[in-house]
A and B are shown apart, each in its own frame.
Chain A
């Protein structure tokens, strides 16, 4: 087990990158704390698989270094890095039994018979495959196979990290939930550093201690699920996380007054003047639907009832607004105004979160 440090790391598939757009992964400096569970979250093509492949050693980064503890492993092969990886599609050795599959990495490293026996038994117990140990791997279901590839990764006690590349893609929805819970339990039990790549926010938020949100090769924010929800560092994070995502309005700022068209919203913080693009962000959970004509006028498009709450889809000057209404509250026809919870408003300048000065 080890701390993983990415130092000035960047990667481009083009030979002489000049523009930031040439990079599949833009400059990143980060330390992955030993024993924590991370999720790399982002849409397809955002560079998360590139980053994972750099950590696992399948790719050599074009710039920067990667260190395991204090050792530079930038040019080390995958095998020498002593990491385990679980792929998108289950990778098992078809002709071997489940037991032989689990023994394989240890045998190749020349472990003793007794040790292998003991270790395989304990891993089989934690991934719950004891009853199929002597079955051939080829006949198993996708989720059983994925469990085995996971087991093969964890059977080595000394792995530096376990990497997951969207491992639940081919798993049935009800098994997904179970496997995810199992992963979480295993993480607590064994304490490996785990890095989990996914484009599914539920997966990321339930699995990880810390979530790394990426888009077009940039790391936008690294934080706990709570931080991502309350204080998204970038409009993309606000939009990508949450269901529906954060609402953004173009506003003008003067001190602690935000001007949204002809309405003035008083904020808790005051901000410096800027000529850049300013947006006000607020989660649909903190927008309230009212019938008070002093509030902000909207046009309601439709109301979706999703059992535990209602989602109101509306338009504000042609821009989409989502409002979450608690289940027990009624939506009446005259409720075409919204008010915003002051404490939950974030201000974004050029898409990045800015902190204001507290008004005393």
Chain B
């Protein structure tokens, strides 16, 4: 096919370029700007090169936050993905109960994030919260504001409650797209329930599962609001995840230079992992065709 060359066509792309510039590129550039400068006040800045990046990369505090973050993301992925698959497999496939359970499952996704935090913050309090009070009456030591384990359990359970639904919905959609002939063929072949899952359901769900995994990875890696509302990063620094630490550094301490370098590294890590996932997904698609 012959294509016409007309340089004026660039003007048609201009609106998009402007939009993207204002929404992403320019704010990002200010961050880049901060990350390579320092100031002693009076709005006088001077270049410091990559000093902040070096500092952040060698900072014990950031390493600790990254460790907590990785632990948190790993735990919730290990729970939410299998649990989501399990729930999707056991949901009714048609009729009234299919719609009913879909709505029930989708509900947590509709709750705003800070409300989720508030719900669990109150839910877990031992004076007025249903969960906290019940546990206290049962004689179980539970106090998310003072006990590290309690705080972690609360935040993980909260995230599982909030986000497993997403995995469930994606898996459910994947399962619904499997033609009934596959199940009939499996019956005829006398495949066991496990084999049906292993060779029919799981391969057919692989695409949506990767998307679920990617979304849950990104979201949990950037989690801020819910733990901030429930524990505020405490007790001590026990639930200070990367974004909480970043906000502390940027707004609490007003260390704009290191915070800018920190957020750029943070951004690159997420970009890298997302890119890796994207490559895997497209490769799987290629294999299929």
Contact = CB atoms under 8 A, between A and B. Distances in A.
B97 interface: no
B23 interface: no
Contacts of A109: 190
Contact of B190 (A85, A95, A105, A138): A105
A85 B185 contact: yes
A91 B199 contact: no
A88 B184 CA distance: 12
B101 interface: no
B288 A139 contact: yes
Contact of A78 (B179, B188, B200, B203): B188
Nearest to A58: B184
Given A95-B199, A108-B189, A108-B192, A138 B184 contact: no
Contact of B203 (A85, A94, A105, A139): A94
A91 B191 contact: no
Interface in B137-185: 179, 181-182, 184-185
Contacts of A88: 181
Contact of A91 (B181, B287, B288): B181
B187 interface: yes
Given A94-B203, A95-B199, A78 B287 contact: no
Contacts of A153: 188
B201 to A, nearest CB: 11
B198 to A, nearest CB: 8
Contacts of B288: 94, 138-139
B287 A138 contact: yes
B279 interface: no
A271 interface: no
Interface string A52-82: 0000101000000000000000000111000
A189 B179 CA distance: 32
Interface in B189-221: 189-192, 195, 199-200, 203-204
A105 B187 CA distance: 10
A153 B288 CA distance: 24
A79 B203 contact: no
Contacts of B204: 94
Given A89-B179, A93-B199, A93-B200, A84 B191 contact: no
A83 B181 contact: no
A342 B187 CA distance: 54
Contacts of B185: 85, 87, 91, 149, 152
Given A108-B192, A138-B287, A91 B187 contact: no
A319 B78 CA distance: 73
Pick from A83, A95, A139 the residue with the most CB of B within 10 Å: A95
Contacts of A314: none
B256 to A, nearest CB: 51
A95 B203 contact: yes
A96 interface: yes
B188 A83 contact: yes
A149 B179 CA distance: 15
A104 interface: yes
Given A91-B182, A95-B199, A138-B288, A85 B188 contact: yes
A105 B199 CA distance: 13
B190 A89 contact: no
B64 to A, nearest CB: 41
Given A94-B203, A95-B203, A152 B189 contact: yes
A78 B184 contact: yes
B196 to A, nearest CB: 10
Interface in A113-155: 136, 138-139, 149, 152-153
A155 to B, nearest CB: 10
Contacts of A105: 188-190
Nearest to A94: B203
Contact of A84 (B179, B188, B199, B200): B188
Nearest to A85: B188
Contacts of B195: 108
Contacts of A89: 179, 181
A192 B187 CA distance: 20
A85 B180 CA distance: 13
Nearest to B191: A108
A87 B181 contact: yes
B221 to A, nearest CB: 29
Nearest to B204: A94
Pick from B181, B182, B185, B199 the residue with the most CB of A within 10 Å: B185
Contacts of A56: 184, 188
Pick from B189, B191, B199 the residue with the most CB of A within 10 Å: B189
Contacts of A136: 287
4 smallest CB-CB distances across A and B, nearest first, come from A87-B181, A105-B189, A91-B185, A108-B190
Given A85-B188, A88-B181, A93-B200, 15 more contacts: A58-B184, A78-B184, A85-B184, A87-B181, A89-B179, A91-B182, A91-B185, A94-B288, A104-B189, A105-B188, A105-B189, A138-B288, A139-B287, A139-B288, A152-B189
17 contacts: A56-B184, A58-B184, A77-B187, A83-B188, A85-B188, A87-B184, A94-B203, A96-B199, A104-B199, A105-B189, A105-B190, A108-B189, A108-B190, A108-B192, A138-B288, A152-B185, A152-B189
